[in-house]
Structure 1
Amino acid sequence: MGNTIWQCHIAMSLDGRIARADGSFDWLESYPPREFGFDALMASIDAILMGRDTYEVMRGFGEWPYGEKPTIVMTHRPLVDAPSAVETRSGDLAVVAAELEARGYARVWVEGGAQVIRGMIAAGKLDVLEMAIVPIVLGDGIPLIAPGTPELKLALKSCEPRSGGALHVIYEAVR
């Protein structure tokens, strides 16, 4: 396999939710992504891997936020009016990961959602977990780590306080 680094960069609540039950994440509005290394992430990645629900949320913002960055959306349904840099795949995430490695991508952002993250962990393809941990308990919503996810041991690389009591945490997989 290739030397691709698979990096999840995501925000979650204290109770481990990445979105409300309806998929919204209005609770993140007062936490600027730039404080959590988002610009550095975008500069360092070669491609983005995401699920269909995440794609639909990002599409809902109007202008596609990722420009011409190659984006692979895991879905069984065709996308209507997708941006030119967006392509779809379905099936086994390990096979899709191998395809992206074969393209020579050095770093891929595993954007989410929970099922894609779970699948990449199961495939042994999550190397870095970078999180904004936001001091709110949502009580319900979409969990970062979906039930049935295999065990993944992580080592803490950094933990920095940010505005509003949030933390910017970076873990690396221990293999």
Structure 2
Amino acid sequence: MQIRARLGISADGYVTTPNGWPAQTADPAFASGQSHGIREFLADCEAALMGRTTFEPALTNSRWPWPDLDVFVLGSRRPEGTPDHVTTDSDPVRLLEKVRAANRGGDVHLIGGPRTIGTFHALGALDRLELVVVPMLFGGGMRLTPALSPDADLTFLSQRALPGGSVEIVYSCTGSREDLPDKPASQR
């Protein structure tokens, strides 16, 4: 199991547009139906792990966004209308233990903003950071940093060109690892 974050980012470093939408939604190639590799990415995932802010809009969606994934939500409270099969917890360490206990061998898609990604990275749980750099300048929005600090120990793994001029860049996240119950010492 690997915990992998995949998100769009503008060429000037913003993960959201100035009005708060995910960066890739502003890319005309994405808007015209290009997946930017998300379908291939999700094929290896069995679970979605996210913060409450990312999760709550799904409750009013006409279609459940994660039909084939186990869903785990980090939040101080269980949002009203949350389906029974969704696991919630306010403690990231406990939630991570629940994710690992339920895992059947597939990867986990870490979805969310910089704070959620930074939380799980600080626990040593983020294995890969996958960025889709869209060929746009936003001039504002939410940045991936400072939640993911410059000492994050990213190791370049791969890159590939995507439709419309976007580029996928994949990094392994090593960094310092805290002691977690089911992580072998060699991986901490």
Q: TM-score, normalised by structure 2?
A: 0.78
Partner deviation per Cα, 1:50-92 (whole Å, 9 max, x = no partner): 111211344454211211411111111321222454232112x
Closer, same or farther: CA 82–161 of 1 in aligned 2, 3 Å:
same
CA root-mean-square deviation: 2.4
Please say if residues 51 and 74 of structure 1, whose CA atoms lie closer than 8 Å, have aligned partners that are also in contact: yes
Partner deviation per Cα, 1:111-145 (whole Å, 9 max, x = no partner): 11211100011111111111211011212112223
* Residue-pair matches, total: 171
Would you tell me which structure has more strand in proportion to its own residues? 1
User: Displacement, 1:11?
Assistant: 0.9
Partner deviation per Cα, 1:8-39 (whole Å, 9 max, x = no partner): 11111112222134422341453267543211
> Paired residue for 1:7?
4
Please say if residues 158 and 171 of structure 2, whose CA atoms lie closer than 8 Å, have aligned partners that are also in contact: yes
Greater Cα radius of gyration, structure 1 or 2: 2
User: Displacement, 1:150?
Assistant: 6.8
Task: Please state if 1:24 is matched with 2:21.
Answer: yes
Task: Please state if 1:41 is matched with 2:48.
Answer: no
The CA distance in 2 between the partners of 1:46 and 1:105, in whole Å, is 8
Residue segments in structure 2 that go unaligned for 5+ positions in a row = 176-188
Task: Quote the sequence identity (%).
Answer: 25
Closer, same or farther: CA 45–19 of 1 in aligned 2, 3 Å:
same
Residue segments in structure 1 that go unaligned for 5+ positions in a row = none
Secondary structure at the counterpart of residue 31 of structure 1: helix
Q: TM-score, normalised by structure 1?
A: 0.83
- Whose relative contact order is higher, 1 or 2, with alpha carbons under 8 Å and at least 6 apart? 1
